[in-house]
A and B are shown apart, each in its own frame.
Chain A
Amino acid sequence: MLLDITSLTKNFGGLVAVNQFCMSVSEGQIVGLIGPNGAGKTTVFNLITGVIRPTSGKVEFDGKDVTGKRPHTLASYGIGRTFQLTPLFTEFTTLENVVASYYLHPRSSFWGAFFNTPTYRHNEAFALEQSLKILDLVGLSKVKDELARNLPHGYQKMLGIARALAVQPRLLMLDEPLGGMNMDEIAFTMDVMAKVRRQGMTILVIEHNMQILDLCDHVVAINFGQKIGEGTVEEVRNNPDVIKAYLGEQNVA
C-alpha cells in the first residue's frame, strides 16, 4: 500500500468533519474519493497533506507514519497535490510557475544559487527542460509566457496539475480537477490523467463529477465525514447508500 489511512478523525469544535475514516491506495492505481458537497473530501485531503492536523487516526505513506507532518515535508516524501481554488502563483508566468515548483528535485543549496555554481546552473537547466516537457504533456506550451492569473480557468487547473507534477510525486492528489470545466476540457483533463498514470504514477482524485469514475480503479464514497461505500466503480454505482447520498431518499428503489 502506498497510502494507508486508518480511523482518521477531525473535529472542528463540536463538528465532526471526518469520522473514523479509513482508506488505502495501492501503487499504480487511480483512486477516486467522491461525495456530495460538504461531505469532507477536501478535509480528508488537507489531513493527508498536513495542512491541518487530525484529531486522531493515522496516515501512513509508503510504510512511514506521516500523521501531522507539515506540508513541505510531505511534498519531499513524494506527495504532490493541487488545490481546488487559487492553485497558482498568480504573478508568475506559466513557465515560471512550473520552474519554481522544481524546488525539491533537483534541490539547489542557498550558496550554490547565490554563487551560481556549475551544479546550480546544471540544476536550473534541467528544471527548465523538464518544465517544458511537463507543459507539453498538459498542453500549455503555447501559453508558457502568459501570466498565470490571465489564463482561462481550464488552463489554470491544468497548470495546477503541471505544478504538482514538478514535485515528481509518487502520489498525485488532485482536488476537483474537473471543477468548472466544460465537456471538452473534462475530456482533455482525463486524457492527461490517463497519460500520467501510464507513466507509473498513483493518483488520488477528489471529484463530485461522476465522469471521473471512468478512470478510477477503486472508488471511495464519503458523506458527512463518514465512508458510505467502497469498491470498484460498478459496486459504488450500485451502492444504495451512495445513490441515496447523491439523489435522495425516494429514488432508492
Chain B
Amino acid sequence: MPIGSSPKQRKRITSIVFYATIIIFLALLPQLGLPVYPMHTLIGVFIWIIVASSLRLLDLSGQGSIGHAAFMAIGAYTSGILAKFLGWSPWITMPIGVLATGVIAFLVAIPFTRVRGIYFTMVSLFFGIGVLAVNQVFSKFTGGYSGIGSIPMLFGYNKTPYYYFCLALLVICLSIIYRMEHSRIGLTWKAVAQSHAVASSIGINEAWQRILCLGVSCCIAGIAGVAYAHYYSLLTQETFSFNTSINVFVYMTVGGPRYFAGPILGTAALILIPEQLRSLREYVPFIFAGILLIVLFLMPQGLAGLPDQFRQRFARSPKVKSLPAEEGVSKRAP
C-alpha cells in the first residue's frame, strides 16, 4: 500500500507536519531574540508537558494517578543528590536518576496493579505522600522542607542551551509516547483499560501490561524530573508535593486526556495564562479553578477535543447511523 493512501495515514501525516512546524518554530525562537524570562517560562512548560504527557500515557492503560510528581521527585532527587554530594557530572547522574525512577516504578507497580480504577488512584496518592515522608526522614541528604540547593547545573547560567536541551527532551519523549500509542503497545493498553476480563480472555497478561505502562510512564516522568533538577538547581518539598501531582492531573484533564495534543495544550494554557496575569498573583489559584470548571462543564473532552466537539454539534446527521432493523443480523450470511 503506498504511503498516504488511507484516510488514517493521511491524518497521521497531517499531524506529523503540524507538529514538525511547531517544533521548528520553537527551535527558531531563541534565534529571533527571545528574552530571558519568556525563555525561562517556556523551559518550564517543556518540562511539565513531558510530565503531563507521561501521565496521559499511564491513563491509556486505565490507571489515573494523582501521585505522579513523586516519580518525578525520585528522578530529580537521585540525580541531584548524586551530583551534589558525590560530585559526579550531571550527564552521568541524569541517566541514573531516570533508571532509579524506572526501577522503583516497576517495584511498586507489582503490588499496585492488584488494584484498578479509583483504587489505583488512591494508592497512587498514598505513594505520593509516602515519598514526601521519605524525603523528611532522609533530610540529611534531601534537606527536608527547605530542600537542596546549588545542584550542579548542566550548562551554567546562559538559558539558551537549556532551552534547546529541554526542547530536545520534549521531542524525544513525545515521539516515544506517540509511537507507543499508535502501535500495538498502545492498542493493548487501551484494551486493558476498557475491560481487563476481555483483555485476558484474548491472551493479554493484563497485570503485566499495566506494570509495563506504569514503568514506562514513570521513566518519562523521571526524565522530566532530572531535567528539572539540573535546570532549576533547587529542589524543595513543595516542588513535588501533592499539589504538583494534582496540577499535572489538571493540565491533562483540561487539555483532554483522550487526545495526544491534550496534555500539551493543557500544560501550555495553564502555565502561560497565569503567567500573563502575574499582577494578579494572589488570584491565580482562583483563575486556575475557574478555567478548570469552565472546561469541565463546557468542554468535557478538553481543549484538544474542541474541534471534535464542534464537528459533532454542527454535524447535519448524527455521527452514528442507527441500523435499520431488517439490516440486522437477521440477514443470512453470504
Binding site for B on A (CB under 8 A): 49, 51, 70-72, 75-76, 80-81, 83, 86-92, 96, 99-101, 103-104, 108, 110, 113-114, 116, 120, 124, 137-139, 142-143, 146-147, 150-152, 154-155, 158, 163-164, 166-167, 181-182, 184-185, 187-189, 191-192, 195
Interface residue ranges of B163-190 to A (CB < 8 Å): 179-180, 183-185, 187-188, 190
Which residues of chain B come closer than 8 Å to A142, judged between CB atoms? 327
Known: A87-B198, A100-B202, A114-B180. 5 other contacts (CB 8 A): A70-B205, A71-B200, A137-B333, A139-B333, A155-B328
B257 CB to nearest A CB, Å? 13
Closest 3 CB pairs of A and B: A184-B330, A75-B203, A71-B200
B243 at the interface (CB under 8 A from A): no
Which residues of chain A come closer than 8 Å to B212, judged between CB atoms? 110
Bound state CA distance, A131 and B55, in angstroms?
32
Taking a contact as CB atoms under 8 Å apart, the answer to whether B187 and A96 are in contact is yes
Given the known inter-chain contacts A101-B202, A114-B185, please indicate yes or no for A152 contacting B323, CB distance below 8 A: yes
Taking a contact as CB atoms under 8 Å apart, the answer to whether A114 and B183 are in contact is yes
Taking a contact as CB atoms under 8 Å apart, the answer to whether A152 and B328 are in contact is yes
Taking a contact as CB atoms under 8 Å apart, the answer to whether A104 and B329 are in contact is no
Taking a contact as CB atoms under 8 Å apart, the answer to whether A91 and B329 are in contact is no
Bound state CA distance, A167 and B327, in angstroms?
28
Bound state CA distance, A239 and B206, in angstroms?
43
B320 at the interface (CB under 8 A from A): yes
Which residue of the partner chain B has the closest CB to A115? B179
Given the known inter-chain contacts A81-B201, A83-B198, A110-B212, please indicate yes or no for A154 contacting B329, CB distance below 8 A: yes
Taking a contact as CB atoms under 8 Å apart, the answer to whether A185 and B329 are in contact is yes
Bound state CA distance, A245 and B296, in angstroms?
54
Taking a contact as CB atoms under 8 Å apart, the answer to whether B184 and A83 are in contact is no
| 22 A-B contact pairs sorted by A residue (CB < 8 Å) | A51-B197, A70-B205, A71-B197, A72-B201, A75-B201, A80-B202, A86-B195, A87-B198, A89-B190, A89-B195, A91-B194, A100-B191, A103-B188, A103-B203, A110-B185, A113-B185, A120-B183, A124-B184, A167-B202, A185-B329, A188-B333, A192-B333
* Partner among B199, B204, B320, B332 whose Cβ is within 8 Å of the Cβ of A150: B320
Taking a contact as CB atoms under 8 Å apart, the answer to whether A104 and B202 are in contact is yes
Which residues of chain A come closer than 8 Å to B199, judged between CB atoms? 89
* Partner among B190, B197, B332 whose Cβ is within 8 Å of the Cβ of A83: B197
Given the known inter-chain contacts A96-B187, A152-B323, please indicate yes or no for A163 contacting B198, CB distance below 8 A: yes
Taking a contact as CB atoms under 8 Å apart, the answer to whether B195 and A88 are in contact is yes
Bound state CA distance, A146 and B322, in angstroms?
10
Taking a contact as CB atoms under 8 Å apart, the answer to whether B328 and A185 are in contact is yes
Taking a contact as CB atoms under 8 Å apart, the answer to whether B330 and A182 are in contact is yes
Which residues of chain A come closer than 8 Å to B179, judged between CB atoms? 114, 116
Taking a contact as CB atoms under 8 Å apart, the answer to whether B190 and A191 are in contact is no
Contact with A along B316-334 (1 / 0, CB 8 A): 0000100100011111111
Taking a contact as CB atoms under 8 Å apart, the answer to whether B202 and A163 are in contact is yes
Which residue of the partner chain A has the closest CB to B202? A101
Given the known inter-chain contacts A184-B329, A192-B333, please indicate yes or no for A70 contacting B201, CB distance below 8 A: no
Bound state CA distance, A9 and B334, in angstroms?
44
Taking a contact as CB atoms under 8 Å apart, the answer to whether B183 and A113 are in contact is yes
Taking a contact as CB atoms under 8 Å apart, the answer to whether B329 and A72 are in contact is no
Bound state CA distance, A87 and B327, in angstroms?
22
Which residue of the partner chain B has the closest CB to A138? B333
Which residue of the partner chain A has the closest CB to B194? A89
Taking a contact as CB atoms under 8 Å apart, the answer to whether A146 and B201 are in contact is no
Which residues of chain B come closer than 8 Å to A100, judged between CB atoms? 187-188, 190-191, 202
Most B Cβ at <10 Å: residue of A89, A108, A192: A89
Which residues of chain A come closer than 8 Å to B201, judged between CB atoms? 49, 71-72, 75, 80-81, 83, 164, 167
Contact with A along B231-250 (1 / 0, CB 8 A): 00000000000000000000
B22 CB to nearest A CB, Å? 23
Bound state CA distance, A98 and B104, in angstroms?
35
Which residues of chain B come closer than 8 Å to A147, judged between CB atoms? 320
A78 CB to nearest B CB, Å? 10
